[in-house]
Amino acid sequence: MVLRLGQVDRSEVVEVLSEAFADYPVMRYVLSDAGSEYDARLELLVGVFVDLRLMRGSPVLGIRLGGSLAAVALVDEPSPSPLETSPLDADAPVWSTLGQQAYRRMMAFEHESAHLEPEVPHYFVGMIGVLAEHRGQGFASQLLAEVRRMSAQDPGSAAVSLSTERESNLAFYGRLGYRITGETQVGNLHTWNLIMETN
């Protein structure tokens, strides 16, 4: 069963996504100068994306097995609530630790990849991760099916969109009905945007 998670689940959500994205190209790119501090900074960076959704009240979806969180998806709705302050602000406290170079790399990636998103109103899957011990059991597909359901039931949404920086992920998303709408290069990253129409 897919659950809607909240602030009480934050530490578990960060833990799952930090493991799932430990060697992901975007994280390696943003934190390229972290050195021996990589693992600690990775948790801080993942926390930025988790906090952004929790602060907005955006969907943070998860699947639990025996009470433990096994899989998570961070989702943006078609019209996310505006925030007075955001963990993506340059002066947010987290960036004093992660560093302004990391901030600039992060924002360069966000800026370039945003151009690939569809113009139609849509749900966007910002991150989706499954703990290594639970992969291959269909949990990512279940989370994506729930996002598709949410979009299909929302008259203000026409699609679900997501991006990936691993070419090996494209076949998986293709089997679920996603199609590539664009791709670009950001630094040493290559990113693809995909979409699935729902309405």
Please check the confidence at residue 191 and state whether its pLDDT lies above 90: yes
pLDDT of 77: 97
Q: Are strands 159-164 and 122-130 parallel, antiparallel or unpaired?
A: parallel
User: How do residues 138-185 score in pLDDT, each as one tens digit?
Assistant: 999 999 999 999 999 999 999 999 999 999 999 999 999 999 999 999
pLDDT of 91: 95
Q: Please, what is the angle between helix 38-56 and helix 10-20, to 10°? A: 130
User: How do residues 12-46 score in pLDDT, each as one tens digit?
Assistant: 999 999 999 999 999 999 999 999 999 999 999 99
CA distance 196 to 133: 28
The rounded radius of gyration (Å) of the Cα atoms in the chain is 16
Mean pLDDT of the chain: 96
CA distance 81 to 30: 26
Residue with the bigger pLDDT between 80 and 144: it is 144
Q: List the one residue out of 12, 8, 123, 149 whose CA is nearest residue 68.
A: 12
pLDDT of 51: 98
Please check the confidence at residue 81 and state whether its pLDDT lies above 90: no
pLDDT of 68: 96
Please enumerate in sequence order all residues whose Cβ is within 8 A of that of 82, keeping only pairs 6 or more positions apart, or say none: none
Please check the confidence at residue 52 and state whether its pLDDT lies above 90: yes
pLDDT of 101: 97
Q: Which one is the CATH code of 2-197: 1.20.140.10, 3.40.630.30, 2.140.10.10, 2.130.10.10?
A: 3.40.630.30
pLDDT of 107: 95
Please check the confidence at residue 89 and state whether its pLDDT lies above 90: yes
pLDDT of 102: 97
Please enumerate in sequence order all residues whose Cβ is within 8 A of that of 102, keeping only pairs 6 or more positions apart, or say none: 30, 31, 33, 34, 41, 45, 95
CA distance 74 to 59: 6
CA distance 33 to 141: 34
